Amino acid sequence: MHLRQSSGWGLHPFIINEATPLTKLPWNLEFVSAPSFWPHSRGGGAVVAVIDTGLDIDHPEFSGRILNPRNFSTVGNTADVSDDNGHGTHVAGTIAGASCGVAPEARIMPLKVFGDAKVDQNIVDAFNHIYHYNKNCAEKDRVIAVNCSFGAGYYDAIMAWSIRRLVDSGVAVVVAAGNQGDGNPETHEVFSFPAYIWEVITTAAVARDGSVAGYSNSFDGIDLAAPGSEIYSAWPGGGYKLLSGTSMAAPHVTAALALIYDQWRQREGCWPTEAEAAAVLLKHTRKVSIDPFLIGQGILELGFVNTRWPLYRVQLGAYWNKRGAEISSGLLQGAGFKTYITRY
């Protein structure tokens, strides 16, 4: 199923099936090795914005972890983010659901943009809202990543500028690749905006066996892939459903960024830049022999933990005489540093 609004914007779910509560972790969390990252971070309250159809704010999966919901559509008042579609709730569940989320302690800022004919403007308003919100909020409440499981068949210059400004301010923007694929890397489905602009992190979908999902778009702008088929997550009314599509792949990556941002802040005492976070994210990929036009740099794999990042080098001035170099080297060695002397 490819849901479309009259403006031309579409969500990216593909198949919807009913689901019953699980007694174990959903397969997709095990597939990306989310539990292996949880000893380092489970999200730590990092705030992720979900620009979508709204959210079931009463769903127990999100209890106590919803921040500043906002409705940009004309359906209901500005605080009404009720989700009559289900797409936004499902996406948010994969990001931060208590039992079905990759980052189960992250917080969700639901921004409802679907529901009327002015979706284009609603999305731009949501991006701009995040930008101005971050300027005035407490540091711990900053939005660090945005999930965009939607796309349109045309370019929007104002939206592209809004995304660029947000990314430049340190916020990662994750976008679903789109569901018009045919499984052939030689045919490039580039008509899903904003998936093809370079500022965003574009996510393709893979199936349970690790193969590329046949519906997933392929082109040279794909950054990485994540599980997208038969994803178990929250549904309005306190329930759960299985959905498939690149819409379901993107929130895995958004959640991974919440984990990375939080771990970085624990170590460094500050948030990383978007470029720093994206670089660490792309280290957390499983390299497989699949064309990069289908999966980018690989499949999300949170089992990779580099305990040495980031690294720093202290540069000391050179000495004109050997004795000065020996004294300085001795002092550093006495303090536990490994040093060596180089003759110039």
pLDDT of res. 11? 66
CA angle 283, 285, 291 (to 5 degrees): 120
C-alpha to C-alpha distance for 105 and 110, rounded to whole angstroms: 16
What crossing angle do the helices spanning 119-136 and 157-168 adopt, rounded to 10°?
20
Backbone φ and ψ of 281, nearest 5°: -55, -45
Q: Strands 239-244 and 285-286: what pairing?
A: unpaired
DSSP symbol at 304: -
Residues marked active site are found at 52, 87, 247
All structural domains of the chain with their residue ranges:
10-300, 313-344
Q: End-to-end alpha-carbon separation of the chain, Å?
A: 68
> pLDDT truncated to tens, each residue of the chain (344 aa)?
233 333 466 666 655 666 666 778 999 999 999 999 999 999 999 999 999 999 999 999 999 999 999 999 999 899 999 999 999 999 999 999 999 999 999 999 999 999 999 999 999 999 999 999 999 999 999 999 999 999 999 999 999 999 999 999 999 999 999 998 887 778 887 789 999 999 999 999 999 999 999 999 999 999 999 999 999 999 999 999 999 999 999 999 999 999 999 999 999 999 999 999 999 999 999 999 999 999 999 999 999 765 555 555 566 666 567 777 788 888 878 887 777 777 65
Contact 50, 88 (CB under 8 A): yes
Our measurement of the distance from residue 65's CA atom to the centroid of its chain's CA atoms, rounded to an integer in Å, reads 17
| 10-300: CATH class | alpha beta
Contact 43, 106 (CB under 8 A): yes
What per-residue string of b and e applies to 184-219 under the rule 16 or more CB within 10 Å gives b? ebeeebebbbbbbbebbbbbbbbbeeeebbebbbbb
Query: Residue 266's CB: how many other CB atoms inside 10 A?
Result: 11
pLDDT of res. 184? 78
Closest C-alpha to 144, from 20, 290, 228, 253: 253
pLDDT of res. 322? 78
pLDDT of res. 325? 78
Closest C-alpha to 262, from 247, 283, 280: 280
pLDDT of res. 264? 94
